[in-house]
């Protein structure tokens, strides 16, 4: 791959060569249609990806082409474009191109760059979290069942994806009742001297204390694997036979235990709602478009079982067709996750064969994109499409209600209009230790979690618990960066409303910071808890306005409480993470030359960092993996003053 027409900016490749800016005869730099026409003449007639940049160097659009010269040149031709494309062309100040060997590679790179730069003129998949899997981990002698996200680099067997963490957790809980597999960590497993509560409630076979042999436990592991692999009927037949044998032998307690395992398996199947029938391994993707919005439903079918579904609402221009949105969604959706053998679609699009070829390049198997017209597969697609239609109708109804709330909020707080971006701030600490500031962001479509920020309080000499000073630091860092990076406020990063968790003191601290930075037009509201911290009796503070309250049952009050509660939750959670990290550090972390391996060896030998600190030199030398020189270093560190 090669990169051309690059200059250093956030939208350009750092290692690409710089080129002079193309200028007109008047000496002014070219932009818009003229710049595209001038650059297109120099492009190769090969596959590749192009990026259109605005005057700030930000990526506005990412596209792929079979022939870069022709595709980019089409933007400068006299052909009619939609209003969206025309607006984009007028804002183009530079162009970055990367050539590829094939069009399939260009399609894959396009999806990667869209996810990286989030260009405003592309279809954007905003919710792109990794999906949870069930992992039967085979490291060690006793397999473990657990939930797993991320790279699949742990030895074991993976089953998924599941639509949500809740569905994975409930499935694992039920699988434990059915197959009695351990879920505890290796540390807990090796330290047990008697069975834990899970054994008592019949959700584990207690291999940690020898209540089951290795051969019998491996048989349970294999049964769990086969059940998750779609061979549930054989497992249930065998369990039924075992239950009957135990009953005929008058071993009623054992028969009852097997009966409970059968009921657990049945409950998993009934929770799935629908079965996939003969569809062994497929994703069903159906789209519905209405009112300029699109909902895409994805059903996950694995081993003949339905493992849940999730709705997506890609961000796109109202003029873009359903087929265009669906095609872009598929490329981004499978950019960071493996595609199944079959993908069943509700709508066809022109480049479906190319998309199948591109996905097959990344997958260990050939991937087929199908648009079924009849039979069981068509029925599954129809079900997914009906869910997409219903979900979009519900979202549009909620969106209309949200717009009314924002409009009413604008009237109450004297804003210029309904806010498109609200930032809420809070602090969290314990007696001033591990202090953090937190920011959450909300817009017309709900919370924007990708925009959340945390601030580790760094002010030296800060009085423990000085909330005002902490708030001043947070606001100074936040808005100093905004002034520096987006002084013209053209990138959508400036808030239309700032909400502070606090009272008049916090409000004063924030307004002082904004005034020092020369910011006079950002509305700030502080929300203080009511008497006895009662929800609904909050008081609101604004500059040059007397404190006031709102209708405790009004929609605006409920909305502001949600914002306040969300930033409080985020602040508390972030603080706890930082505090937990500090608590896991020990004195050994400060000893020069002591890395994780030597630290583990010392703790394994002495049991605690305190015991290591008080150990004699000869005792340190006796620890496995600790040389005389290392022992002397540890001893000198803890006895430097003696």
Asked whether residue 376 carries a pLDDT value surpassing 90, the answer given is: no
What is the distance between the alpha carbons of residues 557 and 172, in angstroms, rounded to a whole number? Answer: 39
**pLDDT tens digit string along 520-575?**
899 999 998 876 656 667 899 999 899 999 988 888 998 999 999 999 898 888 77
pLDDT for the residue 127:
65
Residue ranges of domains in the chain: 2-117, 133-271, 281-394, 422-579, 587-638
Comparison of pLDDT for 430 and 208, the residue scoring more: 208
Whether the model clears a pTM of 0.85, i.e. scores above it, the answer is: no
Average pLDDT value for residue range 306-322: 88
Best CA proximity match to 288, nearest among 365, 392, 184, 138: 392
Rounded CA gap, 571 and 500, in Å?
A: 13
The beta strands (E) that lie in 313-356 are given as: 342-345
- Between 258 and 373, residue with greater pLDDT: 373
pLDDT of 368 strictly over 90: yes
Angle at alpha carbon of residue 318, lines to 315 and 319, rounded to 5°: 125
Structure tokens at 94: 């530079």
Q: What is the pLDDT at residue 273?
A: 47
Fold match flag (2-117 vs 422-579): no
Which pLDDT does position 419 carry in this prediction?
Answer: 94
Q: What is the pLDDT of residues 173-217, one digit of tens each?
A: 878 888 889 998 888 888 888 888 888 888 899 999 989 998 989
The reported pLDDT for the residue numbered 100 is 92
Tell me which fold the domain 422-579 belongs to: Nucleotidyltransferase; domain 5 (3.30.420)
Residues 6+ apart with CB under 8 A from 171: 134, 162, 268, 271
The average confidence (pLDDT) of the chain is: 83
The pLDDT of residue 604 is 76
pLDDT of residue 413: 94
Write out pLDDT tens, residues 125-158: 876 667 888 999 988 889 999 999 888 888 999 9
pLDDT of residue 642: 41
Residue identified by tokens 């872009």 is: 328
With a pLDDT cut of 90, the percent of the chain lying above it is: 35
Which residue carries 């080129």 as its tokens? 19
Q: How high is the pLDDT of residue 7?
A: 41
- CATH number belonging to domain 2-117: 3.40.1440.10
pLDDT at position 128: 60
Query: What does the pLDDT read at residue 248?
Result: 74
Q: Are 69 and 43 in contact (CB under 8 A)?
A: yes
Asked if residue 588 lies in contact with residue 607, where contact means CB atoms within 8 angstroms, the answer is: no
HEC string for 359-425: HHHHCCCCCEEECCCCHHHHHHHHHHHHHHHHHHHHHHHHHHHHHHHHHHHHHHCCCCCCCCCEEEE
Would you state the pLDDT for residue 50?
95
pLDDT tens across 324-358, in order?
999 999 999 998 888 888 999 999 999 999 999 99
- Is it the case that residue 16 has pLDDT exceeding 50? no
HEC profile of 615-636: CCHHHHHCCCCCCHHHHHHHHH
Cis before 161 (ω within 30): yes
Query: 281-394 falls under which CATH superfamily?
Result: UvrC, RNAse H endonuclease domain (3.30.420.340)
Confidence of residue 11 (pLDDT cuts 50, 70, 90): low
pLDDT of residue 609: 73
Mention the CATH class of domain 587-638. Answer: mainly alpha
Confidence grade of residue 280 (pLDDT, cut at 50, 70, 90)? confident
pLDDT confidence of residue 8: 44
pLDDT at 607: 73
Residue identified by tokens 């496995």 is 624
What is the rounded distance in angstroms from the CA atom of residue 46 to the CA atom of residue 70? 9
pLDDT band at 580 (very low <50, low <70, confident <90, very high): low
Residue 331 is predicted with a pLDDT of 92
Q: How far apart are CA 635 and CA 359, in angstroms?
A: 58
What interhelical angle do 103-117 and 322-333 show, nearest 10?
Answer: 90
């Amino acid at each position: 791959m090669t990169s051309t027409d690059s200059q250093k900016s956030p939208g350009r490749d750092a290692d690409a060569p710089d080129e002079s800016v193309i200028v007109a005869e008047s000496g002014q730099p070219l932009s818009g249609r003229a710049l595209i026409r001038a650059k297109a003449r120099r492009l190769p007639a090969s596959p590749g990806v192009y990026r259109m940049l605005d005057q700030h160097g930000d990526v506005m659009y990412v596209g792929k082409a079979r022939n870069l010269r022709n595709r980019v040149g089409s933007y400068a031709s006299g052909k009619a474009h939609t209003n969206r494309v025309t607006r984009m062309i007028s804002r183009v100040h530079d162009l970055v191109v990367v050539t590829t060997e094939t069009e399939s590679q260009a399609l894959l790179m396009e999806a990667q760059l869209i996810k990286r730069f989030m260009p405003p003129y592309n279809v954007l998949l905003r919710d792109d979290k990794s999906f949870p899997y069930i992992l039967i981990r085979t490291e060690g002698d006793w397999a473990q069942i657990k939930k797993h996200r991320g790279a699949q680099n742990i030895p074991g067997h993976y089953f998924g994806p599941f639509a949500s963490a809740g569905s994975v957790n409930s499935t694992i809980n039920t699988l434990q009742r059915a197959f009695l597999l351990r879920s505890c960590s290796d540390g807990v497993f090796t330290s047990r001297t008697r069975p834990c509560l899970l054994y008592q409630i019949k959700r584990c076979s207690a291999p940690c204390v020898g209540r089951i042999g290795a051969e019998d436990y491996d048989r349970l592991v294999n049964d769990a694997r086969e059940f998750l692999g779609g061979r549930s009927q054989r497992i249930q037949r065998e369990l039924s036979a075992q239950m009957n044998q135990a009953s005929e032998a008058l071993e009623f307690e054992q028969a009852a235990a097997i009966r409970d395992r059968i009921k657990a398996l049945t409950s998993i199947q009934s929770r799935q709602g629908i079965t996939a029938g003969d569809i062994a391994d497929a994703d069903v993707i159906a789209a519905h478009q209405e009112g300029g919005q699109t909902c895409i439903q994805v059903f996950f079918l694995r081993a003949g079982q339905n493992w849940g579904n999730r709705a997506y609402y890609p961000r796109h221009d109202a003029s873009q067709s359903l087929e265009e949105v669906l095609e872009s969604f598929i490329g981004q959706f499978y950019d960071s996750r493996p595609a199944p053998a079959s993908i069943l679609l509700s709508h066809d699009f022109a480049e479906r064969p190319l998309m199948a070829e591109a996905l097959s390049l990344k997958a260990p198997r050939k991937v087929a994109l199908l648009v079924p017209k009849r039979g069981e597969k068509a029925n599954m697609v129809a079900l997914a499409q009906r869910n997409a239609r219903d979900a979009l109708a519900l979202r549009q109804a909620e969106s209309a209600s949200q717009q009314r709330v924002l409009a009413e909020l604008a009237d109450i707080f004297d804003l210029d209009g309904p806010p498109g971006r609200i930032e809420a701030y809070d602090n969290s600490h314990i007696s001033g230790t591990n202090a953090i500031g937190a920011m959450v962001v909300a817009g017309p479509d709900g919370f924007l979690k990708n925009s959340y920020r945390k601030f580790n309080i760094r002010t030296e000499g800060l009085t423990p618990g000085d909330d005002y000073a902490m708030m001043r630091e947070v606001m100074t860092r936040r808005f100093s960066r905004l002034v520096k990076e987006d002084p013209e406020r053209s990138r959508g990063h400036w808030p239309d409303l700032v909400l502070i968790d606090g009272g008049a003191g916090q409000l004063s601290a924030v307004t002082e910071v904004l005034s020092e930075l020369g910011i006079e037009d950002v509305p700030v509201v502080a929300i203080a808890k009511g008497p006895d911290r009662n929800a609904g009796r909050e008081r609101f503070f604004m500059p040059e306005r007397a404190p006031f309250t709102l209708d405790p049952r009004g929609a605006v009050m409920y909305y502001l409480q949600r914002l306040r509660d969300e930033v409080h939750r985020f602040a508390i959670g972030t603080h706890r993470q930082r505090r937990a990290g500090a608590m896991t550090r020990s004195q050994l972390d400060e000893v020069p030359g002591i890395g994780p391996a030597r630290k583990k060896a010392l703790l394994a030998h002495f049991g605690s960092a305190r015991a290591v600190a008080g150990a004699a030199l000869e005792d340190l030398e006796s620890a496995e993996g600790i040389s005389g020189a290392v022992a002397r270093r540890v001893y000198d560190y803890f006895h430097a003053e003696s």
